[in-house]
Amino acid sequence: MFRTAIPLGRWAGVVVRAHWSVLVVLFLITDLLASAVLPQAAPGAESLWYWVTGGLTATGFLASLLLHELSHAAVARRHGVKVRRITLWILGGAAELEGEPPTPKADFLIAVAGPLASLLIGGTALGGAVLAAGALPPLPVGGLAWLGVSNLLLAVFNLLPGAPLDGGRILRAVIWWRRGDRARAGAIADRSGQVLGAVLAVAGLAQLLFLGQFTGLWLVLLGWFLIFAAQAEFAAGPLRERLAGLRVRDIMNSSPVIAPGWWTVDAFAEFAAGAGHERVFPVMSFDGVPLGIVSLGELIKLPADARHATRVVDVARKDQAVTVVGADAEVASLIDRGFPRSGRDLVLVTQAGGLAGVVGADDLAWAFELTALDHRPRIAGGRTSTFDHQSVT
Ligand SMILES: [Zn+2]
């Protein structure tokens, strides 16, 4: 869902990105403000100024959404939970954590930080609007007041008790704290999220059909997303439990076929034809530093006459487009990072700056299926077949 997002920058090591759908939000909010909210709050101004104030206020709203997510991220880091990245998209923001909060208290504080930030921003903006009411022209005051109210609503909405909303996380933390069972608490919060999603979707549908308000469509979308996300989390719960304690080094392939980054695409394709049945490869520098990954599918996209002149590293996926984990990371943490697609993606496993191995779709499926049979994967270093092929041919 978030694969195609535009990076906006970094904050304390956390990548901040925006999905293209944010532009839709920006436009819808600007339109709502310029054609309905602001003309009512400050009648008689020129149309241009409604649009300018609307645009600025909408941008301010997205900025406050970002602050909400950054608050989650800051508290998560304080509790030793790494934050992979923050993505803004059509239904708000998402801070992607790597791994689970260690204690119910950490779980609670990470969850509550976002709504608290929104409450603070909302209160400040609304207070500012009240104070500035006489001193400033009504147009900026109207924008500020809307920003305040929308942030307060954002806080209240996020506190609704269903996963994956912040309120659902809080519910999970409290049940976890009371009963001492993290998995059970998570399952209850997920079920609650599904019910909440259904209620929101039905309410949105009613608003759309009976009141003819198009904002109902957004509520339907949001409800549908909640049902979907809560269901996915619920389904992943038992898997997470089964994988507990299993490390990436236990399931990785420690002798993958390597793509030398400085080779030409032609030379590498010739090599790959005799190097086993792999379709995705880790790309390495001459000094043995992992640079990224490349798939045969990506090589195909290159024009045929460019293959002899293009280096593998120039077509490789690098940086944020590649998942990199340490060999000691929990396999369960890979669940949160988007499943590698067969023949297209590969997780790079690093140790002391070098490549320790790779995890592909099949390696993960192998671990999932074995643990479902109540067996622990126990081939340290993974498959060795690729090297055998190389020596035989
Ligand atoms: Zn939040």
Does 256 share its domain with 240?
no
Per the structure, the count of domains in the chain is: 3
Ligand 1: distance of its center to the CA of 112 in Å? 8
The per-residue pLDDT for range 21-42, each reduced to its tens digit, is: 888 888 988 998 888 888 888 7
pLDDT of residue 388: 38
Spatial strand order in the sheet of 317-318: 259-260, 280-284, 290-295, 317-318
What residues make up the domain containing 24? Answer: 5-159
pLDDT of residue 44: 80
In this structure, is residue 87 part of a structural domain?
Answer: yes
Ligand 1: distance of its center to the CA of 191 in Å? 19
Ligand 1: distance of its center to the CA of 83 in Å? 14
Does 33 share its domain with 146?
yes
Ligand 1: distance of its center to the CA of 279 in Å? 38
The per-residue pLDDT for range 262-317, each reduced to its tens digit, is: 999 999 999 988 888 899 999 999 988 999 999 999 999 999 999 999 999 999 99
The residue out of 244, 278, 294 marking a domain boundary is 244
Ligand 1: distance of its center to the CA of 110 in Å? 9
Angle at 137 between CA 133 and CA 139, to 5 degrees: 95
Q: How far is CA 101 from CA 98, 122, 134, 171, 347, in A?
A: 9, 27, 47, 14, 23
The per-residue pLDDT for range 84-139, each reduced to its tens digit, is: 788 888 777 888 887 788 899 999 999 999 999 999 999 999 999 999 888 888 88
Does 153 share its domain with 196?
no
Does 257 share its domain with 238?
no
Ligand 1: distance of its center to the CA of 5 in Å? 19
Check 69, 96, 233, 330 and give the catalytic one. 69
Instruction: Tell me whether residue 278 is one of the annotated catalytic residues.
Output: no
Does 102 share its domain with 147?
yes
* Whole-angstrom distance, CA of residue 335 vs CA of residue 374: 19
- Confirm whether pTM is higher than 0.85: no
Element (H, E) at 272: helix 265-272
pLDDT of residue 381: 58
- Nearest CA among 113, 109, 69, 117 for reference residue 91: 69
Does 201 share its domain with 333?
no
